[in-house]
């Protein structure tokens, strides 16, 4: 049984049909990537999984149980945690408060402190900026904070929406390395990316999304070698 599964999911914005029957699955321990160009529906897919949008048809299952009727905070409670597009740091909370709010549903103080330590280990820069307001961080620092904040919730599945957006190449490498590490430590990941090259380098499997429909699904290696993917998303040929 997959950890997270979408079955024929249709999502609308008013009468704009944004997702036209998405089906995908993420197994425990995997990194699965969802690639596609602007407006393909990648963020819409993640927002639908998190309960920010309601699918009009279809089912979303977590560990075999339907979650598509649950409000967002209940979905987070199950361990499905999203790093939203554009980071969405709370600008007037300090770095520390942003991290603490990531652990909002948890009560285990000692464990929270340990996880915060782990986040500082991944992103030492955040430790240096502890009492600075989130809104005053640089874009790269905000991305670190957004990932750190999500980790504070102890995700079972981490949904990442374009973590490389707007970052310098060195930082992109670093962030992808960290995503791999997080996965290696046992967190399942669904990674949305426009940077297909990097995404397919660390993912186990991938889906290609085009105008609200999945047009390809395969292992990351097979997708890297696929002519269409190379042409459309990897800038080859």
Partner 1 sequence: MAVEATTGAELILTRRSFRSFMSEVFGPLLQVFLFVVGSAVALGGVVILLAVVLRGTREDIDLLQGTITILPQVIVDGLVRGFLYATIALGYTMVYGVLEFINFAHGEIFMVGAFVGAFFGAALASSGMLTTINPILFVIAAVLLGMAVSGLLAMSVERIAYRPLRNAPRLVPLISAIGVSLVLQDVMRMIAVNTGLGFNAQFRTPDLGQPLVLAHMPIADERTIPVSVDSRSLIFIVVAILMLIGLNYLVNITKLGTAIRAVAQDRPTASLMGIDVNRVIAITFLIGGALGGAAGILFGMRVGTINPYVGFLPGLKAFTAAVLGGIGNITGAMVGGIVLGFLEAFVASYLSLFTRGQFSGASYADIVAFSILILILIFRPSGLLGEVVAQKV
State the residues that interact with ligand ATP by CB under 6 A: 13, 16, 18, 36, 38-44, 85, 194
Q: Decide: helix, strand or coil at residue 49.
A: helix
Nearer to Mg ion, 43 or 183 (CB): 43
- Selection from ligand ATP, partner 1, Mg ion, none that 18 binds (CB < 5 to 8 A by kind) is ligand ATP
Q: CA geometry: angle at 179 spanning 107 and 88, to 5°?
A: 65
Instruction: State the minimum distance, in angstroms, from the CB of residue 187 to ligand ATP.
Output: 22
Contact stretch for Mg ion (CB under 5 A) within 5-13, 42-50, 89-97, 169-177: 42-50
Residue among 40 and 147 whose Cβ is closer to ligand ATP: 40
> For Mg ion, which is the closer residue by CB, 49 or 103?
49
Nearer to partner 1, 127 or 204 (CB): 127
Distance, in Å, from the CA atom of 207 to the CA atom of 192, rounded to the nearest integer, reads 10
Q: Of 114 and 231, which has the nearer Cβ to partner 1? A: 114
Q: In what order do the strands lie in the sheet with 205-210?
A: 80-83, 157-161, 188-193, 31-35, 205-210, 213-219
Q: State the first-to-last Cα distance of the chain, in angstroms, to the nearest integer.
A: 38
Give the ranges where 16-168 is alpha helix by DSSP (H): 42-49, 72-77, 95-102, 109-122, 124-128, 139-151
- Ordered alpha helix ranges (H), 38-108: 42-49, 72-77, 95-102
CA distance 117 to 139: 22
Closest separation between CB of residue 205 and ligand ATP, Å? 19
Distance (Å) of CA 141 to CA 81, 85, 137, 160? 20, 15, 6, 16
Quick one: what does residue 113 bind among ligand ATP, Mg ion, partner 1, none, with the CB cut-off 5 to 8 Å set by partner type? partner 1
Q: Check binding of 37 to Mg ion (CB under 5 A).
A: no
Binding-site ranges for partner 1 (CB under 8 A): 50-52, 71-73, 76-77, 81-82, 84, 88, 90-93, 96-97, 100-102, 104-105, 109-110, 113-114, 116-117, 120-121, 130, 135, 149, 153
Q: Do 82 and 153 form a contact (C-beta atoms < 8 A)? A: no
State the binding partner of 52 from partner 1, ligand ATP, Mg ion, none, CB within 5 to 8 A by kind. Answer: partner 1
Which candidate, 220, 63, 81, 70, places its Cα nearest to that of 155? Answer: 81
Binder among 4, 18, 19, 43 for Mg ion (CB under 5 A): 43
Give the nearer residue to partner 1 in terms of CB position, either 117 or 173. Answer: 117
């Amino acid at each position: 049984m997959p950890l997270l599964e979408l079955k024929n999911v249709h999502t609308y914005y008013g009468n704009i049909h944004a997702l036209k029957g998405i089906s995908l699955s993420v197994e425990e321990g995997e990194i699965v990537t969802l690639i596609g160009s602007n407006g393909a529906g990648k963020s819409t897919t993640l927002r639908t999984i998190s309960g920010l949008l309601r699918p009009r048809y279809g089912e979303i299952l977590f560990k075999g149980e339907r979650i598509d009727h649950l409000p967002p905070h209940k979905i987070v409670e199950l361990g499905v945690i999203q790093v939203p597009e554009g980071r969405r740091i709370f600008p007037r909370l300090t770095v520390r408060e942003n991290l603490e709010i990531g652990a909002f549903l948890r009560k285990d103080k000692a464990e929270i402190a340990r996880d915060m330590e782990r986040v500082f280990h991944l992103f030492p820069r955040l430790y240096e900026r502890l009492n600075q307001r989130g809104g005053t961080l640089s874009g790269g620092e905000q991305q670190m904070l957004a990932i750190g904040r999500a980790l504070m919730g102890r995700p079972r599945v981490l949904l990442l929406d374009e973590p490389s957006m707007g970052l310098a190449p060195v930082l992109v490498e670093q962030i992808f390395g960290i995503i791999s590490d997080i996965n290696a430590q046992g967190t399942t990941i669904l990674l949305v990316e426009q940077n297909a090259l990097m995404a397919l380098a660390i993912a186990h499997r991938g889906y290609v999304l085009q105008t609200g429909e999945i047009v390809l699904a395969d292992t990351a290696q097979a997708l890297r070698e696929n002519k269409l993917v190379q042409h459309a998303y990897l800038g080859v040929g």
